[in-house]
Structure 1
């Protein structure tokens, strides 16, 4: 796991693929589910005191998806092996769970189920970080802001459930 601080050519090449894929999947999920503060259902909900300004969500999620794409690029640029294969599988699984959260919350209006879904996501992201750490410390560290944000999102989801 000794790696340079600056990305090598292989990481940069992989990131040209992984970053756009992760960003597009994430943004598509939000768009397809009608997520956002301007939807009539969401606008009618009682907002928790900790609810940040709505514009912040798009900015933060875009940054997080970019970081996730770079983290995946670091793992894919590492030598092949069972750890790398499982790390990519667990990453794909957590991304799938992530992408489904918005439709569960915003489209299906299942606030309680969305809370338990995001708890599943937290566990999967912890597992992803643990497996990424076996391959690349940088890849694991790139997921720390994502982990912190989804922990905050879980608290926010819980508060929405309690208030509505």
Structure 2
């Protein structure tokens, strides 16, 4: 088990391009899993909701998420590269937690069609992202910086979530 963990830790140094691609694809795949819940709630529930004026079109939201998941993949790859020199257990754990909460938001907001549950979840997501950024910063400042667009987008999404609650 220890030798397998050592190989995983060394993989980004031995295979930098492939490990970067793997990190990005894993993040994109996790993002796709969240979109399954989104698709479940779009018709007719979401379509019938009163929407805030500044609600972006669905295609723009999809493009933004694809970019954000790629940035997250690069960020976690930068942390992964440091795993042979530093203990990255906390940052990787926080990253995993925020990713799970991200998927949960889609499941709760769209899948369960719960605006209030979505608001609670997105608030927890925002906190988890902030903690992830702080932990990344201690190991790799570039990795932390790559997470900034994500927390900004989640801030906008939280404001929209709150607006949906107010309007509906």
TM-score of the pair, normalised by structure 1:
0.88
Which sections of structure 2, spanning at least 5 residues, go unmatched?
1-12
Shift of 1:32: 3.8
Q: 1:144 aligns with which of 137, 142, 148?
A: 148
Q: Deviations over 1:9-65 (max 9, x none)?
A: 7653431221101101111211244267x5210000000011112211110000000
Q: Deviations over 1:70-92 (max 9, x none)?
A: 00000000144664111000000
* Structure-2 residue corresponding to 1:31: 36
Change (3 A) 1:86 1:116: same
Q: 2:25 aligns with which of 9, 12, 20?
A: 20
TM superposition outliers: structure 1 runs of 4+ over 4 Å:
8-11
Question: In angstroms, what is the RMSD of aligned CA positions?
Answer: 2.0
Q: 1:76 aligns with which of 60, 76, 80?
A: 80
Change (3 A) 1:12 1:135: farther
Q: 1:60 aligns with which of 51, 57, 64?
A: 64
Provide the rounded CA distance (Å) in 1 between the counterparts of 2:92 and 2:157: 24
Q: Which has the higher helix share?
A: 2
TM-score of the pair, normalised by structure 2:
0.86
Q: Deviations over 1:109-144 (max 9, x none)?
A: 110111011000000000000000011111000001
Q: 1:50 aligns with which of 54, 60, 77?
A: 54
